[in-house]
Structure 1
Amino acid sequence: MNEHDKTTHTLNDLIEIARDGQEFYEEAASKIDDADLKALFTRIAGIKAAIVNELGGAVQAAGGKVETSGTAVGSMQQFYGKIRATLGDKAYGYVAELEESEDRLLEAFENAAGDRDIPVAARDIVIRLLPEVRSCHQVMRDRKRAMKHAA
């Protein structure tokens, strides 16, 4: 795989996972009654959209085609989140599944940030976005823990 293909492949993987998160947050915000959670989900969906747009710009700048869909794992996770929310505490069900979605994205970003086989310019974008990814992950992990201990 040449440098261009490696860049496009790596960044498109991140785009797919971030898009999964964006769509899942939007779905959860539309289904949840809690105003604070709705606002949080909407805010994080916006962050995911910004990440997708920035990574997409980098793919285009590298001469690649931007991925326009999410992943099968993301679709299954969103489906499982809906079932979990329907069968139990809706708010906790969504928070728990969204936190797992954050785990996937954080792991993918950390792997890409440490991948010395992708060009420096692409890795620099990943590293620049990583604090925002970590922040979203931390917010959802803390929210999940707080809800679990409150139950």
Structure 2
Amino acid sequence: MLTNEQTGDALKKLAGTLRDGEKGFSESAEKVDAANLKTMFGELSAQRAQLASELEPLTRQYGETPREGGSVGAALHRGWLNVREAITGSDDYAVVAEAERGEDVAKGNYEDVLKEELPADVRSVIEAQYAKVKASHDKVRDLKHSMEAAKEAAKH
């Protein structure tokens, strides 16, 4: 079983991941042209904000102060995204592909935490959130693949 401090650290990590996703999806909604993508990214940003808010009381309960912003790694990722965008410009496909990369990280962070022996109250919350994060990941991944297929079909 994780100590209270380790549990608090794990919750803090996931809350940071969720805040990263909230910001990333919000930025993605601003960058895309297609109305359906703007709506989807806006909804996913709101979902991540809500999930992060769910973790904050638990994080405090286990002795940690929730992060206000995202993680350092995500800040670096966003910085790289901004540099790449300045060089290449971004179309909707590029934004969706970046969102999928962010979702891969989020899903992986949840899977890492779920490998630990968590207190039952924490595990139930994390498992429920993981199901939502995984569903979002799969939705973005499937969208990226369908956009790739459409691009390929347009070439022929």
Q: Could you state the TM-score of these two structures normalised by the residue count of structure 1?
A: 0.89
Match status 1:37 vs 2:69: no
* Number of positions where the alignment pairs a residue of Structure 1 with one of Structure 2: 149
1:45 is matched by which residue type in structure 2?
Answer: S
**Seq. identity, %:** 26
Match status 1:12 vs 2:12: yes
Range that drifts further, 4-13 or 75-84 = 75-84
Report if aligned partners of 1:3, 1:119 keep a CA contact under 8 Å in 2: no
Moved over 4 A (4+): 83-86
Distance 1:83 1:90, change over 3 A: farther
Report if aligned partners of 2:31, 2:95 keep a CA contact under 8 Å in 1: no
Corresponding position of 1:97? 98
Distance 1:56 1:22, change over 3 A: same
Return the offset for 1:88.
Answer: 4.8
Report if aligned partners of 1:14, 1:109 keep a CA contact under 8 Å in 2: yes
Report if aligned partners of 2:93, 2:147 keep a CA contact under 8 Å in 1: yes
Q: Secondary structure at the residue paired with 1:69?
A: coil
Return the offset for 1:84.
Answer: 4.2
Return the offset for 1:64.
Answer: 2.6
Q: Could you state the TM-score of these two structures normalised by the residue count of structure 2?
A: 0.87
5+ long unaligned stretches in structure 1: none
Q: Secondary structure at the residue paired with 2:55?
A: helix
- CA RMSD of the aligned region, Å? 1.7
Distance 1:123 1:74 in 2: 24
Distance 1:149 1:82, change over 3 A: farther
